[in-house]
A and B are shown apart, each in its own frame.
Chain A
Amino acid sequence: MSAPHDRPTAAELIESVREWLERDVAPSVDGRLSFHTRVAMNSLDIVLRELAAGNDMTQRHEDVLASLGVSTDAELSAKIRSGELDGSLAHVLNSLAPVIEDKVRVANPKYL
């Protein structure tokens, strides 16, 4: 999948940095730096989850937009804003739910 690149894969590289932050950096810093180390680890976790999700989420997003007759979030936003979809806002919202859940599943799965 990552050819022509050698191992480690992109995910494995990120994982190695994350492990180093957790094992070596986090225990030896405090205060602001400790907080910022946790923020960094959290960002790497987001990237790892996004890589693991692969193309499924992109596909679902495209499918949902297509089912609503648009191809981008910007286009859908403009349509909602114009009032054109006022009669079916509940339907639009329900259609978007799986996409929003995908985003949260990558960004902060504990939130769901």
Chain B
Amino acid sequence: MESLRRLTGGASRETWRFEADGNDFVLQRVRPGRPDGLGCEPAVLSSAFAAGVPVPEVVVDGSLSTELELPFMIVRAVEGETIARKILRDEEFAHARTILADQLGTAAAKLHSIDHSHISGLASNDQLTMYRKVLDDLGEPHPVFEIAFRWLESNRPTSGTVALVHGDYRLGNVMVNADGLTAILDWELAHVGDPMEDLAWLCVRAWRFGGAFPVAGMGTYQQLFSAYERASGVQPDPDVVRWWEILGTLKWGIMCIAQANTHLSGVARSHELAAIGRRVCENEYDILTMLREVLV
């Protein structure tokens, strides 16, 4: 093993990169005090890889191993950019921007076709019920969010389609090079549910990062839906996607309250987390705009 170096990782994992036998690998290890470990992510990643979804290939699943004291996995490194603002603005990605919405539609179709019957431990919680509880526990009621809950409860999609859902399918969690999509990352929130959740989350305004178009800030719904239909034979229902987009906006609004609360409660004092509290109203504004079109 050579050139071991630490990369900036998420809150729940530490990430390392190294070379072995001339190949590049990435090691993710659970941080201490995270009892949920890696969950079923290595199994989900392996199934996604087998199904032809662009993901890093798992070479060691250490989710049950004690060799590194804490659960870990090693994947083959994939090259590309993940920083949303660069992908949206840098000249290098000009061509990628014209095809990424299509590629994300195709990749979503593939990932929704993954046979998940053999993966144990996948959550299938009702998102609306889940976030109702998160908001109640935070104890900061927002009238616009309550209107969203009322509307979402009485307009639930009835399709009943269930698939493996990525759960955090958006710009920031995908790797892109000059030719477009190279990998879909961050499968920690994978669960079983309505596949339209993924298409909608990709379009939530926060994940457009200031871009002018709905899909990842750079593509149209039509591009996304057509690519999805070509690859899956399933034509996304725009009304169902909008239901999930409103729920997604509500979710991010509640997460903003939660992140500010992490600072305010003293769990982690941070002016960055504090500032996110003032992004709650962006989601109230977006919900207002979307609900005004459907409420009469």
Give residues in A with beta carbon < 8 Å to B. 36, 39-40, 42-43, 46, 73-74, 76-78, 80-81, 83, 86, 89-90, 92-94, 96-97, 100-101, 103-104, 106-108, 111-112
Are A100's CB and B281's CB within 8 A?
Answer: yes
Contact B282 A36 (CB under 8 A): no
30 of the cross-chain contacts (CB-CB < 8 Å) are A39-B272, A39-B275, A40-B271, A43-B271, A46-B275, A74-B141, A76-B143, A77-B145, A78-B141, A80-B147, A81-B146, A81-B149, A89-B150, A89-B295, A90-B292, A92-B143, A92-B147, A93-B147, A93-B295, A96-B143, A96-B144, A96-B288, A103-B281, A103-B284, A103-B285, A104-B282, A107-B281, A108-B278, A108-B279, A108-B282
Binary contact readout B272-296 vs A (1 if CB under 8 angstroms, 0 otherwise): 1011001101101100100110011
Are A83 and B292 neighbours in the complex by a CB distance under 8 Å?
no
Given A100-B285, A107-B279, A107-B282, 9 other A-B contacts at CB below 8 A?
A43-B278, A46-B275, A73-B143, A100-B144, A100-B284, A101-B285, A106-B278, A107-B278, A108-B282
B18 at the A interface (CB under 8 A): no
**A21, B70: Cα distance in complex, Å:** 41
A83 and B295 contact, CB distance less than 8 A = no
Within B114-170, the residues touching A (CB, 8 Å) are 141-147, 149-151
In the complex, chain B residues whose CB is within 8 Å of the CB of A103? 281, 284-285
Query: For B296, what are the chain A residues with a Cβ–Cβ distance below 8 Å?
Result: 90
How near does chain B come to A39, taking the closest CB pair, in angstroms?
Answer: 5
Give Cα A111 to B209, complex, Å.
11
Alpha-carbon distance A94/B293, docked complex (angstroms): 12
Complex CA–CA separation, A11 to B271 (angstroms): 19
Set of chain B residues within 8 Å of A107, measured between Cβ atoms: 278-279, 281-282
CB atoms of A36 and B278 under 8 A apart: no
> Shortest distance in angstroms between A38's beta carbon and chain B's nearest beta carbon?
10
Query: A56 vs B233: C-alpha distance in the bound complex, in angstroms?
Result: 54
Q: Which residues of A contact B282 (CB under 8 A)?
A: 104, 107-108, 111
Q: In the assembled complex, which residues on chain A have CB atoms less than 8 Å from the CB atom of B142?
A: 73, 77
Q: Which residues of B in the span 210-268 have a Cβ within 8 Å of any Cβ on A?
A: none
Q: Which chain B residues lie closer than 8 Å to A40 at the CB level? A: 271
- Would you call A81 and B144 a contact (CB within 8 A)? no
Distance (Å) between the CB of A97 and the closest chain B CB? 6
Count chain A CB atoms within 10 A of each CB in B147, B149, B295 and give the residue with the most.
B147
Q: Which residue of A lies closest to B210 (CB)?
A: A110
